[in-house]
Amino acid sequence: MKPAFLYVLHSGNLYGTERMALATLDGLRDRLEPVLFAPPGPALGEARRLEIRTAEFRGARDLAVKLRPWIARHRRIAFAATGVSHSMIFLAWNLLYRRRNVHIHLVHGGTDERESYGRKRILNGRGLRFVAVSNFVRDRLLAHGVAEADIDVCENFLPDRQIAEAPRRSAFHAGIRSVVVVSRVDPIKRIDLLLDCLDRHPALQSLNFRICGTGWDLEALRERAEKQHPNVVFEGFSDRIPQVLAESDLLLHLCPCEPFGLAILEAMAAGIPVLVPDAGGAASLIEPGISGFQFRAGDARDLGVVLEEVAGLPAAGINGVVAAADARLRERYSSKAGLERYANLFKELAND
């Protein structure tokens, strides 16, 4: 019998954290028996579509009840959790069952420092591995007292099928005119920085900007754009992001403290270049000037300067950046690369 791979999510949504959980469960099913535990939501439906066994839970007490039979039934267990309480539940049950296990605690980061990083140190010294999705997340864990020796960095990735099936922009024959931002419209995401930038750089009126996403700042920023910058359109939620990317010329990412930035990989798969801050997890996803572009984080003036430079590039230069990004995506952020990092964590258990 293969070891069970029990993956517990704190959310039943289908955003980056949940999509990575499904990609990991699906990608390692030849070595481990995948089971997804999640609150109600679309993640469970997507797991069933992938023929991954599921268990729905509502709250910590219900999770403890749902986990116990799986722990009792399997002598070898790969366990992954995104919530501190979920890891604690597994640790408590395993005091009773003493199963051979590899326990990883996924840290994808977030907007609340205490919840995203600060509480994680409760798990120090309990025999589990912290898995940070970027060096930025690793550094935040260290800043909040998580033991350095217990942290591994396993960057997010796109499943090979998603890369192969992604709508793709044709090669550039002219410069950049259409820019897309795919992001929540919350204060921490700094969408306001774009409008500040346009205030200072009237030459950028020749570019069109689409903002795809919802959030606290949506109405206020939409109203500001309608009055001052009609070339910026806040479109709200979109369920066709792959197509939107392929219809665009550039992905602009603005958040200076993004833990990773899965949309950046999706832009690479769509064949469009990306412009990101030089801080946060997004900064490490590209090689500046080679596979993407960077601006000084939080600096509206520098953002404008870089946007003008990028918009003025010849088609051949843009195509070169796109080709380098495609190579980086396939080498570093494909299924093979991403799953190998997780497989190495579970290697001893799978081969036991």
Q: Given a cut of 60, is residue 220 above it in pLDDT? A: yes
Domain 162-332 in the same topology as domain 4-157+334-350: yes
Q: For the segment 117-126, what is each residue's pLDDT rounded down to a tens digit?
A: 989 999 999 9
What tokens were used for 269? 């798969």
Could you please state the CATH topology (level 3) that the domain comprising 162-332 is classified under. Rossmann fold (3.40.50)
Domain residue spans in the chain?
A: 4-157+334-350, 162-332
Q: Given a cut of 70, is residue 351 above it in pLDDT? A: no
Q: For the segment 226-272, what is each residue's pLDDT rounded down to a tens digit?
A: 999 999 999 999 989 999 999 999 999 999 999 999 999 999 999 99
Q: Given a cut of 60, is residue 352 above it in pLDDT? A: no
Could you please state the CATH topology (level 3) that the domain comprising 4-157+334-350 is classified under. Rossmann fold (3.40.50)
Q: For the segment 51-61, what is each residue's pLDDT rounded down to a tens digit?
A: 999 999 999 99
- Which pLDDT score, from 0 to 100, does residue 73 have? 95
Q: For the segment 267-291, what is each residue's pLDDT rounded down to a tens digit?
A: 999 999 999 999 999 999 999 999 9
β 151-153/178-182 pair status: unpaired
Confidence of residue 350 (pLDDT cuts 50, 70, 90): low
Burial class (CB in 10 A: 0-12, 13-18, 19+), 239: exposed
Q: For the segment 313-344, what is each residue's pLDDT rounded down to a tens digit?
A: 999 999 999 999 999 999 999 998 999 999 99
- Which pLDDT score, from 0 to 100, does residue 349 have? 78
Render 32-93 in DSSP notation, one character per residue: SEEEEEE-SSHHHHHHHHTT-EEEE--SHHHHHHHHHHHHHH-SEEEEEESSHHHHHHHHHH
Cα→Cα distances 127→103, 345, 347, Å: 8, 13, 16
Q: What is the pTM (predicted TM-score) of this model?
A: 0.91
